[in-house]
Structures are given as structure tokens and as C-alpha cells.
Amino acid sequence: MQTAKIKVGIVGGTGYTGVELLRLLALHPQAELAVITSRGEAGLPVADMFSSLRGYIDQAFTDPAQADLNACDVVFFATPNGIAMQQAPALLDKGVRVVDLAADFRIQDIAVWEKWYGMTHACPDLVAQAVYGLPELNREQIRNARLVANPGCYPTSVQLGFMPLLEAGVVDETALIADAKSGVSGAGRKTETQFLFAEAGDNFKAYGVAGHRHLPEISQGLTDMAGKKVGLTFVPHLTPLIRGIHATLYARLTKEVDLQALFEQRYQNEYFVDVLPQGAHPETRSVRGSNQCRIAVHRPQGGDTVVVLSVIDNLVKGAAGQAVQNMNIMFGFAENMGLELVPLLP
């Protein structure tokens, strides 16, 4: 059990996942924020950029070239894809543990990763060592991990929704459907026309139907759960929300089972997965600002189709909150430390 505070570094502190990490770690009783990097904002006090952190964080952003990340116990990469794989090897060599919130280490098949992310992987040898950071699936491996690949937001909601069904082998794994909707913060803190208020507000659309980068990550996880190759149709949508993911999942039953009992038993010891009562319909606002995933399972008209409703906050359980959850496991802290967050309503 870790007792002394650990020194934490954040690479890329100016994006939405970066500021969410700062929000969570600012009050974490066992974490000391040692380094917060930003190439573009070096020298700027963090609270000058994010006024919500006034009185909680008095540090300034550090230029990555000047940052002493080797002195940290753990470093979070809240950076675009392709950054962590350049810097993680040197940190790991110094004994620093790494949690990557991007996709550099999530997909075990290097060729598949390079196809979907359009670049050559800088350290393919480390991918096999990385532990996929979905605690509800890989908790024991995370405890001793040096390198954790934090799951994507869509993959978290979809995998948690399908997990009990696939582990129990009660659905046809060849014909799974994930119909998922996300708020605009899932696209990151950047300026693009499609994410302007006048474009995304009062609007709803699908995208990436032919193929989305999270598809191979989700398929990999579901295949591991099922113990055999799965067939998955994944369709993401952009909604006029800031935060939140709602995944509506469909599968065909192949065995009779008490679905409510199956889900309740699978997640009975999971602090951050809440199985709602039979007939419930979870809302994204019921998890906003929290690390919760709320799930409801339905069997419409008593037929052979299972419908699972899974909601998370894409920036918390879908990113920074799950990363802190992984850090807690890695260092022997209580898993919910710093994550006792009541969702925001309204």
C-alpha cells in the first residue's frame, strides 16, 4: 500500500482531458502535481487559462523541453495520438510509470494501428507490454503495469455494455451493433468548423459510418471477452451536448438468461458501474462530471434482441477519470480515491 504522496506529471495540460485531469488531481489526497507541460503556453499560470482552477493550482505550464518528468512517479499523456509513443520509452527506462490517454498503445496489432492512425509506430515493442486500462476487465494486470493504455471514450461505454453478455456467452457475437452518440468535447479542444456552436448546436448527425478509429479498439476488447472473433457494426453520432456518451447496444440472444441478474451480478463489486433497475433509461446528465457508467438492460417485447443502454461522461470515465482510477490501482490507493464525484444536475 502506497502511503507517501506520488509526484504526477501531465504532458499536454491545455486540452479538455488535460484540464479534467487537473480538476481531479488538484484535490487527490495522495497526488502531488509536479509538472504540467505545454509547448504553446509555457510560463502561463494554469489558472490564467482555466479560471475554474484558481485557488487550486498555482503552477505555470512548463515547456516540455525544460520539464523534469523523470522525477515523477507517474506521467499522464493527455496529448494527440503519436506523442506518447515518442516519449514513453525514455520515461519507462527511468522507472516512471506511464498512463497514455491517447491511442498509441491500445491496439495490439501494429499493422492495424498504423492503418487506422496513418503513421508508423515509434516503439512497437512496448505495445505488447502495455496493459489496456479498463479496470472492470484488467484490474489485476493494471496493478503491476508500467505502461497503461487508457481506453477511448466510445470503447469504454460500448465494452462495459456488452461485457456481461459476451463473458456469459449468451448472445450471437457475430452480429453486434453499437449505436453511440457523443458530445462535442469528445473531439478535443480545437477549432474546426463542424464543432462551432452554430454548426453543432441544434443539430444531430452520424459520422464515420464506413469506419471509425475506435472500431478496431472496441472489436479487440470484445473479441477478448468472447474468446472468439466478433462481428461489430459501430456507428458514432455527434450531438449538441458538451459532455456525455450514450451507447445503445444490440445483440441477439442465443440462450435463455435472466438479463437483469446477469448484469447485476457481473457489476455488483464495481464501484463505477451502476446497473439500473429493470425498465430504466439512463440519461447522460445522470453521469455528467462523474466517473460513473450507468447501464440498463432491456429485452423488448420479450423477443430475442437484447438492448443495452450505457452512458458515461466522455471526459471522466471516458478519459481523465478512468486514467486516475488506473493510477489509483497502480499505486495501491483506494480505487475511488479522488473520484467521489456527485454528477452535476441540472
> How do 31-37 and 131-132 pair as beta strands?
unpaired
Strands (E), the chain: 6-11, 31-37, 74-77, 97-100, 131-132, 147-149, 176-182, 205-206, 232-238, 245-252, 273-275, 293-298, 305-312
Helix, strand or coil, per DSSP, at residue 97: strand
Rg (CA), the chain: 20
Catalytic residue among 72, 123, 153, 293: 153
Which amino acid would we find at residue 7? K
The question of whether 153 is a catalytic residue gets the answer yes
Q: What is the spatial distance between Cα 121 and Cα 104, in angstroms, rounded to a whole number?
A: 8
Backbone angles phi, psi at 273, to 5 degrees: -120, 120
Largest CA distance in the chain: 62
Q: What is the spatial distance between Cα 258 and Cα 322, in angstroms, rounded to a whole number?
A: 29
Alpha-helical segments (H) within the chain = 16-25, 46-49, 84-93, 110-117, 124-127, 135-143, 153-168, 197-200, 214-226, 259-266, 321-330
DSSP state of 342: P
Active-site positions read 153
